[in-house]
């Protein structure tokens, strides 16, 4: 689809058709970046969005163990470590 740039003050803008907005999941904020001489518009996301869910899904609590309990002491532990 070709469209024209519209003047917005000293800048230019692009009108994005509603079906494109819905298909791309764009909200009130978008992220703009340039890659290979192309302008890329993507949905704005909060930093670390979805990390909490991914962390919870990475392991179930039944198999959680402290690594220190299953790791054998090494040379550092025997010679250098002090409380």
Q: Which of 33-42, 48-57, 67-76 has the lowest mean pLDDT?
A: 67-76
Residues 6+ apart with CB under 8 A from 17: 1
pLDDT at 69: 66
Residue 18 φ then ψ, to 5°: -55, -45
Would you place residue 62 in the very low, low, confident or very high pLDDT band (cuts 50, 70, 90)? low
pTM of the complete model beyond 0.85 = no
Residue range 6-78, CATH number? 2.10.260
C-beta of residue 5 within 8 angstroms of C-beta of residue 14:
yes
Rounded CA gap, 41 and 32, in Å?
5
pLDDT greater than 90 at residue 36:
yes
Average pLDDT, the chain: 84
pLDDT digits over 14-35, tens only?
Answer: 999 999 999 998 988 899 999 9
């Amino acid at each position: 689809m070709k469209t024209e740039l519209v003047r917005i003050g000293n800048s230019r803008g692009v009108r994005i058709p509603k079906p494109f907005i819905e298909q791309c999941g764009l909200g009130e904020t978008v992220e703009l970046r340039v890659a290979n001489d192309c302008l890329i518009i993507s949905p704005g996301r909060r930093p670390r969005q979805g990390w909490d869910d991914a962390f919870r899904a990475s392991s179930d609590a039944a198999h959680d163990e402290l690594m220190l309990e299953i790791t054998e002491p090494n040379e550092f532990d025997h010679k250098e470590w002090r409380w």
